[in-house]
Every structure is written in C-alpha cells, then in structure tokens.
Amino acid sequence: MGDGSIVLITDHSSTEGSADVLAAAVRRLTGRTPVHVDARHFLPGNDGKVGGENGELRLSAAGEEVTPDAVIVYEIPPHGRRAFEPFQRELWRHGIRSHATEAWRWATEKDLMVRRFVRDGVPHMPTRCGPWRDAAHLCGDFEELGGDVWLRPAVGAGGDDVFRVTAVEDLVQVAGARGTWLMSKDAANVNADGLRHQFRVVVLGGEVVRVCEHVQKDEFATCNEVRGAVSTVLDPGELPEHLAELAVRAARSVGLSFAGVDLAAEHGGVVFEVNVHPAFGADRGLETMAIPYVREQITPRSGRRRRGSCRP
Ligand SMILES: Nc1ncnc2c1ncn2[C@@H]1O[C@H](COP(=O)(O)OP(=O)(O)O)[C@@H](O)[C@H]1O
Ligand SMILES: [Mg+2]
C-alpha cells in the first residue's frame, strides 16, 4: 500500500499545458491534489530515485519522498523519450505498467511506426525512410511516390520540419539533414471546399473518446493547430465507423492503450501518426480525455497494480 498520494510526472520545460488539465482531472476524481514532479529529475545522472520492496514503489526527488498509489507520466517531449527509458523500466519493475518503453518508442520514432503499420496492415500512405544513399536515390523515391510528397523527421511534433515538396529542386533542403527522415506520398486530403482536412482521434482502451476535425487553408502547411489549422471538436459518433476502427487498430499496432491518432479519410482512411501524449486541448479536453485517462491510471486492475500493455 502506498501513502495515498498520486504522483504526476511531466517535463516542466514543456509549455503544452496538459499537466494542469491532468492535475484538475486528479482533483475531480479523487479530491486530492497530485504531487507534481519534474520528469527531468529522473533522467540518467539526475537526483531522482526509484525504490521500494514487496510491491511498494518509493520515489524520491528534490529532497522529497513519496510511496504513491498511482503514477501518471505525461508531456514528455518526443526528443527526450529515449533518455527517459531507464526510468520507465524501473517503474515497470515496480508494477507501474502503463508507460511501456517499447510502445512509446514505436509511436515516437515514425520509421518504427511505419514498420509496425506494415506488419499489422494498418493503412498509411506509401512511405520511404531515409537516410538516402545519395541524391539519385532521394530523387528516385520522390518520382516513384508521384512527385508530390511530405517529408518529416522520424522524431518530431507539432509539424516542426514537416514539408510538402512538389519540385525536385526543393528536395535539397532535406538532402543534407541529420537524422532519419520519412518521405510519404501526398494523401490529397482535400475537402469539397478545396481545404486540407484530417482528424485527430483519441482512443482509450479500444474506444474512441474524442474526435477533432482539423482544417487547413494553406495547402502546403500541415494540419497541426500550431500551424494555423482550425480544430473543431466532433461527437465521436460523427466519425465514420471504419475510421474509428482504423484509429483503434493504429494505436494497438504500436502497443498503446491511450493515443491520439492523426488520420485522413481519403483512400478509405490512412494514418499519419500515433501520438503518445496527445495534448488535451482547451475545448472539453478535461471531460473527454483527461478524466477518462486518469480514471484508468488510478484504478488498480485485478492481479496487478496497474494496467499494462507491452513489456519495456
Ligand atoms: N502524406 C501526407 N499527406 C498529407 N499530409 C501529410 C502527409 N504526411 C504528413 N502530413 C501532414 O503533416 C502533419 C504532421 O505530420 P505528423 O506525422 O502528424 O507529425 P507531427 O508529429 O509533427 O505532428 C500531419 O498531421 C499532416 O497534416
Ligand atoms: Mg501530428
């Protein structure tokens, strides 16, 4: 048994705002304020420690120690997730099994995500992964994908460094770029008004809990809200059944129970990516996402302390 506390671990350098919504959800469900700890304490070499025997978990950081009943981990920026894995494995060892390293990695690193999609038959646009041996191979893939592609880094968020490229000369901007990149055929996800549109579908435990439609006026910009897309919350029932099933399959393919799936309805439904920590959003994010998510995190399951998905 713990001391009754609920620990909320987020990266305090993140400005996304999900931590406040999660804290509100914990208060709403339990009447208690969570102990909010900066995730960076638990990066290798920092002062955060994990301990405890006989099924008990003890966390200490910044001179404080708790034996929590539940641990919620959120708002860990994609680029920092590899460094966070040793801490996740420690949590797993101590029975906190909802933050599995493999699932995070499969979703965060989009080259791995595409491999999972291929393995599981999750529809997505034809994609080639770099690095490319030379300019000829890069241009060859560009032509084979129809000369209208989206380039994105394997690890990213918010549409950062995501480009639509329609002219071979514009490929040079990624030719020398560091890291792994993906090149995907344009989904032509344009609505009857000529605007780009797609859905963010949040799933929890195999059910759709929230749906937003994103519409973007600029045909060369991504449908991320931070890039100017307009987001409208829909009733989950408004999403066609086959797209709801697609979102659930995509989350399952990368091993996540809770996920925000970006998908387009065109081509029968294609998935762009699966987000590990979808932002809660101002419009009803507390009710539709944070409260159901926190409820799952703090409810012990039979035979183990927390719900688990994949081994770390
Ligand atoms: N093949 C594609 N066709 C059309 N739009 C795309 C394609 N690939 C990416 N995009 C756009 O770029 C956005 C950003 O890509 P995504 O993989 O979601 O990365 P991020 O993590 O930066 O949000 C997508 O949500 C979509 O709006
Ligand atoms: Mg996205």
Judge whether 61 lies within some domain.
yes
Query: Same domain, yes or no, for 218 and 262?
Result: yes
Judge whether 101 lies within some domain.
no
Alpha-carbon radius of gyration of the chain: 20
Residue at a domain's end among 49, 78, 96: 96
Query: Same domain, yes or no, for 212 and 268?
Result: yes
Judge whether 273 lies within some domain.
yes
The pLDDT value recorded for residue 177 is: 72
Predicted TM-score (pTM) of the model is 0.94
Query: Same domain, yes or no, for 196 and 179?
Result: no
Query: Same domain, yes or no, for 196 and 181?
Result: no
Judge whether 112 lies within some domain.
no
Distance 185 CA to ligand 2 centre (A): 16
How long, in residues, is the chain?
Answer: 312
List, for the chain, all residue ranges whose pLDDT scores fall below the cut of 70: 1, 174-176, 300-312
The pLDDT value recorded for residue 130 is: 87
Best residue among 272, 273, 275, 276 to mutate for probing ligand 1's pocket (most ligand atoms within 8 Å of CB) is 272
Judge whether 118 lies within some domain.
no
| Phi, psi of 254, deg, nearest 5 | -95, 5
Query: Same domain, yes or no, for 180 and 206?
Result: no
Judge whether 305 lies within some domain.
no
CATH of the domain at 78: 3.40.50
Query: Same domain, yes or no, for 175 and 200?
Result: no
Ligand 1 neighbour 125 (Cβ under 6 A): yes
The pLDDT value recorded for residue 306 is: 43
| Phi, psi of 173, deg, nearest 5 | -65, -20
Q: Do the Cβ atoms of 211 and 236 come closer than 8 Å?
A: yes
* DSSP 8-state symbol, 300: P
Query: Same domain, yes or no, for 176 and 216?
Result: no
Distance (Å, rounded) from C-alpha 218 to C-alpha 197? 11
Ligand 1 neighbour 223 (Cβ under 6 A): yes
Distance 222 CA to ligand 1 centre (A): 6
Query: Same domain, yes or no, for 135 and 85?
Result: no
The pLDDT value recorded for residue 307 is: 37
The pLDDT value recorded for residue 45 is: 96
Distance 52 CA to ligand 1 centre (A): 42
Query: Same domain, yes or no, for 177 and 223?
Result: no
Query: Same domain, yes or no, for 178 and 196?
Result: no
Ligand 1 neighbour 90 (Cβ under 6 A): no
Distance 37 CA to ligand 1 centre (A): 32
Ligand 1 neighbour 158 (Cβ under 6 A): yes
Q: How many CB atoms lie within 10 A of CB 51?
A: 13
Residue at a domain's end among 166, 185, 204: 185
Query: Residue 248 is part of which domain span?
Result: 189-279
Distance (Å, rounded) from C-alpha 80 to C-alpha 157? 12
Ligand 1 neighbour 216 (Cβ under 6 A): no
Judge whether 1 lies within some domain.
no
Cα-to-chain-centroid distance, residue 89: 19
Q: pLDDT by residue (tens digit) across 98-121?
A: 778 999 999 999 999 999 999 999
The pLDDT value recorded for residue 99 is: 75
Judge whether 263 lies within some domain.
yes
Distance (Å, rounded) from C-alpha 6 to C-alpha 29? 11
Domains held by the chain: number:
3
Distance 199 CA to ligand 2 centre (A): 10
Q: Which amino acid is at 248?
A: V
Q: pLDDT by residue (tens digit) across 275-297?
A: 999 999 778 999 999 999 999 99
Query: Same domain, yes or no, for 215 and 179?
Result: no
Could you tell me which residues are beta bridge partners of residue 203? 208, 259
Distance (Å, rounded) from C-alpha 294 to C-alpha 270? 29
Query: Same domain, yes or no, for 165 and 199?
Result: no
Distance 97 CA to ligand 1 centre (A): 30
* DSSP 8-state symbol, 94: T
Best residue among 109, 145, 162 to mutate for probing ligand 1's pocket (most ligand atoms within 8 Å of CB) is 162
Residue at a domain's end among 154, 185, 216: 185
